[in-house]
Amino acid sequence: MENRHVDVLIIGAGLSGISVACHLLAGNPGTTYEIIERRSGIGGTWDLFRYPGIRSDSDMYTFGYGFRAWHGTKVLADGTDIRRYIRETAEEHGVTDHIRFGRRAVRADWSGDEGRWTVETLDEATGETHVLTARFLVGATGYYDYDGGHRPQFPGEERFRGTLVHPQHWPRDLDHTGKRVVVIGSGATAITLVPAMAPEAAHVTMLQRSPTYVMALPADDPLSVLLRKLRVPAGVVHRLGRARNIAMQRGLYALCRKAPRLMRKVLLGAVRARLGGDVDMRHFTPSYKPWDQRLCVVPGGDLFTTLRNGKASVVTDHIETFTETGVTVGSGEEIPADIVVTATGLRMQLAGGMELTVDGTPVVTRDRLLYKGVMLDGVPNLVMIIGYTNASWTLKADLAAAYVSRLIDHMDRHGLTAVTPVATEADRSQISVMGESLTSGYIARGDAIMPRQGTRDPWRIRNNYYRDRRALRRSPVADPALRFDRAAPHGRSAPPQDRTAAV
């Protein structure tokens, strides 16, 4: 058993964790930190998921870091390139040596007397327990359960003689060449798998209970390609592309919310033009309004091309039962299958499933609010990195990481040891931070663990990059909603400062 103390302990070496480390290095010289990573490699989600065709569902100008340009021209990058990008970022900034791989954070307790977190980790290879202490704790594991995805039990599935697989645990040796494949689902994973598997498969059927809005994007960014041909500096291309795409993401979302009927016509019209009458539009006509669920994007319209050439098809129906050789749907049709992929979604958890306590009292995340979308109310020196649902995850992760750096710098300059967001009863609502407008299954399932939405700023989650940039990068750190503690003799915390007092 080892004991080690650092200023900041980061849980997770994915996009968010590497971002926090890089911001600390740039803005907080001398601050010590370590990253605990359960897996054996950098990348988080992008190291876990290895199914065919895995790619980003947001453009790379915004899915990449603001502080390290993405120089490719692909609009959506594949998992291998994203994993390499994260790893190279960590290596270039000297972060890799601060990562402890193969460690799962089991529990963390904040001691008010000691003014620090004590974190117990487990080496899953050896069974050894290690203890670290830290002044700040950063949860950078996202909100997915890495142990298992959402997996409904289907009637009769035990009779199926073929291969049944969930994308989260894709077998490395699975060969789908010449096989009949059924992909259950209609979200980002399903629409990625279908065109990726179709060229080698005998046929791929996307079996969906209900349609999703799907939008085609160019495979390569035409403006970036043009600017590169004109030898415009890569940094300029990145800045222009990033600013443009942030504005376009925000504009598309706002239009969908303010003019849903118009945007429904626009989105469905674009799909109709891509399909060219070869596929029934009912398979791409959702019953809900645009952006009630996350909008799915396909590069170069690859899904539509695959459907038009007959290598794949779509069935919209419910599953009646599995048979020995396939799946029977409500209409009575049996879809033959050698492989069935259950792209049925993900389970949700926070902090990688780590148990959180404050002076021995369990923290129930569902009962808490998020201050500026970053810190749990009532919990000292804890940051939770939660990205956007209506834009690129990394946009919010980068803002949150920059705020952590500003906050620690502010506290160091003023001799402060702890900060606790404090919400009032009037600030609280029963709505999840994921909002009430999005109706996706994973969001509904996550209601049991996700913090609550506030009724007003700074507890209200706006999912608006421009507002968050102002709140997290530009607004003063001192805030009436924050309670700061100062060190007292013998290492104990002094009485908390008045919440309304500016520091």
> Rounded to an integer, what distance in angstroms lies between the CA atom of residue 456 and that of residue 447?
20
How are beta strands 3-11 and 33-37 bridged, if at all? Answer: parallel
Q: Contact at 8 Å (CB) between 281 and 291?
A: no
Any domain includes 474: yes
Between CA 246 and CA 239 the distance in angstroms is: 11
If pLDDT is split at 50, 70 and 90, which confidence band does 275 have? very high
489: in domain: no
Looking at 344, 360, 391, the residue that finishes a domain is 344
Provide the CB-side half-sphere exposure for 377 (13 A, CA).
24
Examine the fold and report which residue of 322, 344, 366 is the final residue of a domain before the chain moves on. Answer: 344
| Domain match, 340 and 224 both | yes
Query: Is the domain of 298 the same as that of 400?
Result: no
- Does residue 272 lie within any of the structural domains? yes
Pair 263, 219 in one domain: yes
* Amino acid 489: pLDDT: 43
For the segment 125-184, what is each residue's pLDDT rounded down to a tens digit?
A: 999 999 999 999 999 999 888 888 888 999 999 999 999 999 999 999 999 999 999 999
The answer to the question of residue 486 being in a domain is no
Same domain flag for 253 and 338: yes
337 vs 335: CA distance, rounded Å: 6
**Tokens at residue 98, please?**
């601060």
Query: Are 281 and 177 in the same domain?
Result: yes
pLDDT for 502 beyond 80: no
173 and 140 share one domain: no
Q: What's the mean pLDDT in 252-265?
A: 96
Q: Are 182 and 344 in contact (CB under 8 A)?
A: no
Same domain flag for 211 and 248: yes
Which pLDDT score, from 0 to 100, does residue 437 have?
55
In order of 253, 292, 423, the CA distances from 248 in angstroms are 8, 18, 34
To which residue do tokens 């306590």 refer?
357
503 lies in a domain? Answer: no
| 325 and 362 fall within a common domain | no
Q: Cα 326 vs. chain centroid, distance in angstroms? A: 33
Beta carbons of 294 and 440 less than 8 angstroms apart:
yes
> Same domain for 133 and 204?
no
The verdict on pTM exceeding 0.85 is: yes
pLDDT at 345: 87
DSSP 80: H
Task: Pick the last residue of a domain from 344, 359, 388.
Answer: 344
Domain identity same for 141 and 188 = no
Residue 114 lies in a domain: yes
What span, in angstroms and rounded, lies between the C-alpha atoms of 317 and 331?
Answer: 7
Give CA–CA dist 278/280, Å, rounded. Answer: 7
Query: Is residue 490 situated within a structural domain?
Result: no
CATH of the domain at 337: 3.50.50.60
Nearest of 415, 455, 451 to residue 432 by alpha carbon: 451
The torsion region of residue 199 among left (phi > 0), alpha (psi -120 to 50) and beta comes to alpha
Domain that holds residue 420: 3-146+347-478
pLDDT, the chain, mean: 92
* Average confidence (pLDDT) over 352-368: 94
Quick one: which H or E segment has residue 347? strand 346-348
Mark whether 378 and 468 lie in a shared domain: yes
- Note whether residue 499 is domain-resident: no
Quick one: pLDDT at residue 438?
Answer: 59
Count of domains forming the chain: 2
138 and 197 both lie in a single domain: no
What pLDDT digit, counting tens, does each position of 453-463 carry? 899 999 999 89
Give the span between the Cα atoms of 379 and 110, in whole angstroms: 8
